[in-house]
A and B are shown apart, each in its own frame.
Chain A
């Protein structure tokens, strides 16, 4: 990626003004994918000095700043295990020290380990200008205009679990599954290889049959049939001793 100009604002409003005022400007979270993009950016707006990092838990409500790194989340003892566990095999520690949860979400990466978990938690995204948006809506429709994600929130699930199948320890998942219990059960499956989707049911006995309600695709990494079989196995693995989920 070629960058013509760079700013690191100390004020969110200033960052937003530069974003909407410069055609083609982009914001930078962790900057992990800088070397993987072949384009020229007129202005890179670094969000590192806006104080958008940190985790705040008040009662059941969890608020995570968009610039919180994946490593900070991995090491946080108050967050649900599904979320901290999903971080552990994302590339190496050095990448997790840089990559941010905001960057992971805003990229809408289909291979994401983060998004299926947040989706199963029914996460809400909070933007500086556009206000609030459900993660599911953002995944499906994106944003109508450029904006800056400031933080995301969800209510703590009663119980949650995450499993992924990876050929190599730190590789992208061939498929991943997250389950959360909170006003019923939400199962989300990512890397299908399309972006994550979730299905919600009230009855615990329906959970194991939910894989049939997802579409799976074939790419150079795995076939649709293989992904579906893996997803079913991961879900059954999570569900072992399912009594505790009731």
Chain B
């Protein structure tokens, strides 16, 4: 089936199988920030933004996304870099595999709610698993980022 995706502002036209999912499509097209984790919507590794909505790309059919606007980490590098500096300062990263999905969740949250409380942050990130960090460092980093952003 013929599909056109608008990924980070650029148009991509190609043919896709009816059961192909965005995770596979995006990685094939070179958007390697999108990671495969559980492959069943549970871990948040594959998070992307489709038409302004945070979604798990592992279960989003590529044909359903036809003519939709998709954002991956590659398209929001400046925003991600600003948050990542705080993550680095807190020593959050270990393997880093969950980071792109985690960042996409934060980008979506800040679009929806520019001044979230930490309870709102934790609620929003509940679908993002990290098997290295234990989450506390991430929460400290986000709190520090928000403090600077909101001051």
Where the two chains meet, the residues of A that have a C-beta atom closer than 8 Å to any C-beta of B are: 1-6, 8, 28, 31-36, 44, 46, 48, 71, 88-89, 91-95, 97-98, 169-170
Contacts and interface: CB of A to CB of B under 8 A. Distances in A.
Contacts of A5: 18
B83 interface: no
B39 interface: yes
B56 interface: yes
Interface centre among A6, A8, A33 (most CB of B within 10 A): A6
B113 to A, nearest CB: 11
Question: Chain B contact residues: over half helix, strand or loop, or mixed?
Answer: mixed
A6 B127 contact: no
Nearest to A75: B112
A44 B18 contact: yes
Interface residues of B, number: 30
A94 B56 contact: yes
Nearest to A34: B59
Contact of B44 (A2, A28, A92): A92
A3 B19 contact: yes
Interface in B44-63: 44, 47, 53-56, 58-61, 63
Contacts of A34: 19, 21, 59, 61
A92 B61 contact: no
A4 B18 CA distance: 6
B89 interface: no
Contact of A32 (B17, B47, B59, B124): B59
A31 B22 CA distance: 13
Contact of B42 (A46, A48, A91, A97): A91
A171 B50 CA distance: 25
Contact of A93 (B42, B59, B61, B108): B108
B64 A48 contact: yes
A96 to B, nearest CB: 8
B64 A94 contact: no
